[in-house]
Amino acid sequence: MAASTRPATLSQQIFARFLLGGDDLNHRMYAARKNALFKEVHGRVFEIGPGTGVNLSYYPSGISWTGIEPNPVLHPVLKGKARELNITADLHTALDEAVREDKGRADFVVSTMVLCSVSDLAGTLKSVRDLLKSGGRFLFLEHVIDRANPVRRFVQRAAPYTPWRFFSDGCDPGRDIAGAIAAAGFTQVECQHYLQNGPGLIALVNRPHIYGHAVK
Ligand SMILES: C[S@@+](CC[C@H](N)C(=O)[O-])C[C@H]1O[C@@H](n2cnc3c(N)ncnc32)[C@H](O)[C@@H]1O
């Protein structure tokens, strides 16, 4: 596994603690959808922003997994969880490192709750496509902008201008992620919109979700 060299920012340190306390709730909120979404995963799997490794337990045995996680606080956690689950794992801190080494080699690229916080959404989706082999699949489960409720949409668009962004490690809840995936040049996209239940302010602001897959 590649070791991380850059120290964590204060925002990353705070966010890692928040994520570490949230795995149980995450499983309660998303297990059913993830079981359906990840059921065909096999071969070489790349996951962007794996966080604490909350998705690892949904993957079948025998996969080769590479996590792309910029937060160095989470690297030992990911290594430990992969070891526990007997998953062959590798780690990068940036997507372009992975693309340089493994362009066109991924059977699957996975992203859950990550595309809200990447600094360049279109560039990230291009890198996802670059990583995938022809016919490979991008699997996503993301919170998105509210297309129906103008009050929530206003709150989502205002959030990045408040301390929200610092405490959520860059999360911008007002992104049209479905539109960005549709425009990213995949040959086929299946995207379902739904409202995700969950406790607290974060779940309230981030209730509109999408999940699905895109084929290269
Ligand atoms: C809200 S957490 C989601 C973690 C996990 N995927 C989950 O579903 O709980 C967002 C994750 O994306 C990571 N991240 C932020 N920017 C990223 C980027 N440009 N490339 C890859 N990961 C990124 C963060 O460090 C964090 O681990």
* Per-position pLDDT tens, the chain of length 216: 444 467 899 989 998 998 999 999 999 999 999 999 999 999 999 999 999 999 999 999 899 999 999 999 999 999 999 999 999 899 999 999 999 999 999 999 999 999 999 999 999 999 999 999 999 999 999 999 999 999 999 999 999 999 888 888 889 999 999 999 999 999 999 999 999 999 888 788 999 999 999 999
Residues 82, 64: Cα–Cα separation, whole Å: 11
Whether 92 is covered by a domain: the verdict is yes
Whether 5 is covered by a domain: the verdict is no
Interaxial angle between packed helices 121-131 and 95-102, expressed in degrees from 0 to 180 and rounded to the nearest 10: 20
Domain of residue 83: give its range. 10-215
| Ligand 1 mutation pick, 114, 128, 175, max ligand atoms within 8 A of CB | 114
Could you report how far apart the first and last alpha carbons of the chain are, in Å? 27
| Ligand 1 mutation pick, 6, 29, 117, 165, max ligand atoms within 8 A of CB | 117
User: Contact 48/95 with Cβ under 8 angstroms?
Assistant: yes
pLDDT at res. 4: 47
Whether 81 is covered by a domain: the verdict is yes
Give the CA distances from residue 12 to residues 7, 9, 20, 72, in Å, rounded to whole numbers and listed in that order: 10, 5, 12, 8
Q: Structural domain tally of the chain?
A: 1
- What CATH number did the domain enclosing 43 receive? 3.40.50.150
Whether 95 is covered by a domain: the verdict is yes
153 CA to centre of ligand 1 in angstroms: 22
pLDDT at res. 5: 63
Whether 141 is covered by a domain: the verdict is yes
Whether 4 is covered by a domain: the verdict is no
Whether 1 is covered by a domain: the verdict is no
User: Contact 38/110 with Cβ under 8 angstroms?
Assistant: yes
Residue 100, helix vs strand vs coil: helix
Whole-model pTM above 0.85? yes
Residue 69, helix vs strand vs coil: coil
21 CA to centre of ligand 1 in angstroms: 15
Whether 122 is covered by a domain: the verdict is yes
